[in-house]
Structure 1
């Protein structure tokens, strides 16, 4: 059974997290929509590790004091809480991030004492795509019109489904986190503003080994971003899953975990 523990980031935010099993800590950072339960399919595949699954600030019950957080502060806040988790666990952990969690993992690994990073489709926009990115504004317009569900549907359609689902309502009816995730719309908008403003440097100052994962069925701009991130890393390795979407860790947990374990074993 997992244990529930807490730690505190530098800004005083209380971070709750679940710790599963024994072994080297594997800190799992979920993306823009999925709650910490996103990682449940993956955890059984890491028997020799100790998966650490936090509830991101702003998601679920950890909203205290965050409603006024501006987009310029969001990434710093995320990195701060990851560093707090790194300090709270024993030894040098591995960071395993999905989407926005992958971007946070890369930024935190610049100076946090971690052994390695696994990043599934980091939420980084290619430069040409970022110039025209306006998802946050379009979501805000729907939210301002008191259409919370419509705002979140726009995100799901554009990012999770890559605009390729004909009957989105039917798809959502089968999606386990819908409609609970509608409550997260303000945080998802803030997160998207970070993504739209983030500029990938020519070289990411991450000196530990990084596994970058992507899937052929996700948004093409995220696949391009995964390649760009890989090229910016001093010690990067890229894996492209055939037939897997942006939700790779939850959709194909066994394949994802196999690649992560193999990568960690080789380093």
Structure 2
């Protein structure tokens, strides 16, 4: 493990795999750093940099009273610290909230490109009625962390339902880690529910926005909205791939990223 420090004094730890151009992999709110394990082998020409984020607001004095923009900016600061720590101009590759963080960081960081798989942005109508953070927080306060995170899985990862969700979760390797991250997932959802996509995202680097047909419809809608808000972007949609696309179909996703990076 290596470490660097962000401008606000937060220590960031990260793993580095291989040699070559730096590729910073930013996981979302429902996965630990190990989320990227299936992905790294498909980027042999890169030096994959995989951080363990400080957490959604965990380093703030009072996360509950912090605005969505402040939480997101704190996340972006640790990414900018990583950009400064690596040699060369990195590619940022983020999934879900990590994708939103990557785009935000790239507004004020010298990066080669950004890859954003289904950025965690809610359409305006959907966002106005979103209350997942409140429902999860109530469950956590009542001591039912497992049920709180299960609500997130039901609404975000499998909105169309799973025949036996408890059995599916029991077979999901990262499930115990996800339960441990319950408070962070609540903070993430508060940030997502408060975030408003601007008409224009001031990102100079080219951006590849990715989405899948088997994920939530609202995230596909938001992926298109993010694409339209960026000055230099390409949108790719994968048939039969869900919100967990990078880990679910790493070869397919990596091929799209490779094509994008070599076509510029």
Q: TM-score range by the shorter chain?
A: over 0.9
The answer to whether the Cα contact below 8 Å between 1:15 and 1:56 also exists between their aligned partners in 2 is yes
**Structure 1: distance between partners of 2:52 and 2:230:** 28
**Structure 2: distance between partners of 1:173 and 1:11:** 39
2:228 counterpart residue number:
231
Runs (5+) with no aligned partner, structure 1:
none
Correspondences of 1:62-211 after superposition (within 5 Å): 65=59, 68-70=62-64, 71-72=66-67, 73-211=70-208
Runs (5+) with no aligned partner, structure 2:
none
The answer to whether the Cα contact below 8 Å between 2:31 and 2:177 also exists between their aligned partners in 1 is no
Deviates more, 1:244-253 or 1:164-173: 164-173
Compute the TM-score of the two structures, normalised by the length of structure 1: 0.95
The answer to whether the Cα contact below 8 Å between 1:58 and 1:66 also exists between their aligned partners in 2 is no
Shift of 1:69: 2.8
**Consecutive aligned runs of 4 or more in structure 1 exceeding 3 Å deviation:** 65-68
Number of aligned positions between the proteins: 261
1:138-158 per-residue CA deviation (whole Å, 9 max, x = no partner) reads: 101111221111101001111
Compute the TM-score of the two structures, normalised by the length of structure 2: 0.96
Which of 5, 9, 29 matches 1:12? 9
Shift of 1:179: 1.8
**Structure 1: distance between partners of 2:197 and 2:175:** 31
Instruction: Please give the root-mean-square deviation of Cα atoms over the aligned residues, in Å.
Output: 1.4
**Structure 1: distance between partners of 2:95 and 2:263:** 21
Correspondences of 1:34-49 after superposition (within 5 Å): 34-49=31-46
Correspondences of 1:240-251 after superposition (within 5 Å): 240-251=237-248
1:88-145 per-residue CA deviation (whole Å, 9 max, x = no partner) reads: 0001000000000000000000010001000000000001111101110110111122
The answer to whether the Cα contact below 8 Å between 2:212 and 2:245 also exists between their aligned partners in 1 is yes
**Structure 1: distance between partners of 2:177 and 2:106:** 31
Shift of 1:207: 1.4
